[in-house]
Amino acid sequence: MNNIIIKNARLFDSGRLVNIKVLNGIIAKISENYIFDKNCGELNAQANFISPGFIDLHVHLRDPGLTYKEDISSGTLAALKGGVTTVCAMPNTKPVIDNQNIIKYILNTPANCRVLPVAAITKSQEGKELTDFQELKKAGAIALSDDGKTVENINLMRETLVKSRENDILIISHCEPEDEITRRDVSLALETDTRIHIAHVSTKNACKYISDAKKLGAKVTAETCPHYFTLTDEAVLKSGADAKMNPPLRSPEDCAAIINAIKSGVIDCISTDHAPHSPKDKKGGANGITGLETSFALGVTYLVRQNHITLEKLIDLMSKSPAEIIGIDNQIGTIEPGKVADFAIFNIDEKFIYDKNNSSSKSRNTPFHGFELYGKILYTVFGGRIV
């Protein structure tokens, strides 16, 4: 039902207990007073926190072509389990998301939450010839990235940024080797006066280059992932292949730098780089971990409960800020009348053990199995429906 009244919900930012009326999937009214409408269903939040649904700018759904690892249905179900109501689907599928037909396929495939395609910067992600930015944006691409690969040719990357500015579409840069390419790409963004988003930041030096570029006026935003503020390279000794990803886990010094960059605003948002793999692929050396179901709880456990940031800041990193980065903040990312009714309802004090065997993802490659976490998602509401 898209008409619902959520009763006794505690706003994440103010702590106020409110009732939220949703009509046709849109927030119609927020009130501290009792609301009744016989045409609406009801959900009693029982004084638990409510926030906007989370927005993940960096997700691998493996669809089309690699659906034995994940598909749009299973990946978006895993998202909902983690309170995530919007995912940006990365282009390194088979075939690569580099034309209108594949974007149409993704947008027309039934999903459990909102899926926004990220198309490739270069044809087949080969780093040689640029895709048709205008065509891809018109078809529904929310951003462009050669995710998993760097556009190595500096002149082609400069052309990429200029063309992205002309077409008003965001470039998401995968920086490998991280420090060197981060420095190059933020410099190019400054030179061309163009927006750029730096994916999965993991090192102290990358944080410094992004910070310096921002101070100079560069239109740079950046994300990190929960594994970079919760784990160090020592986790590989315990979890083996399930703790191997790209960029790899770093030193305790880098981990501390990531936390400081989150606190200071150098890091703008938290994404997961959700990268499901089969056991066979993992044994074969595939990099990446799943993350949609654990990202919020890891943020609560390792950032909020450690007093690095407030709950309000964490929610902004996972909803408001990513919505602003991809330019959809007029629709989602905050709780206010007129916005789409995407919500996460959660308890930050309830402790739980994460069990990968209960995952909705097709894959189980996570280093967080058995972790004691806080920040349990009780309900996810997508477009006014309890999902």
Give the catalytic positions in this structure: 273
Name the residue with tokens 């050669």: 146
Query: 325-347 burial, b if ≥16 CB within 10 A, otherwise e?
Result: bbebbeebbbbeeebbbbbbbbb
Give residues with Cβ within 8 angstroms of 126, minimum separation 6.
Answer: none
CB 147 within 8 A of CB 174: yes
Give the whole-angstrom CA distance, residue 269 versus residue 386: 26
Distance, CA of 121 to CA of 146 (rounded, Å):
5
Query: Do β-strands 143-144 and 114-119 pair in parallel, antiparallel, or remain unpaired?
Result: parallel
Torsion angles phi and psi, residue 242, rounded to 5: -70, -5
User: Rounded CA gap, 60 and 174, in Å?
Assistant: 14
How big, in percent rounded to 5, are the helix, strand and coil portions of the chain? 35, 25, 45
From the list 350, 322, 382, the residue with the least C-alpha distance to 77 is: 382
The DSSP element (H or E) to which 302 belongs, if any, is none
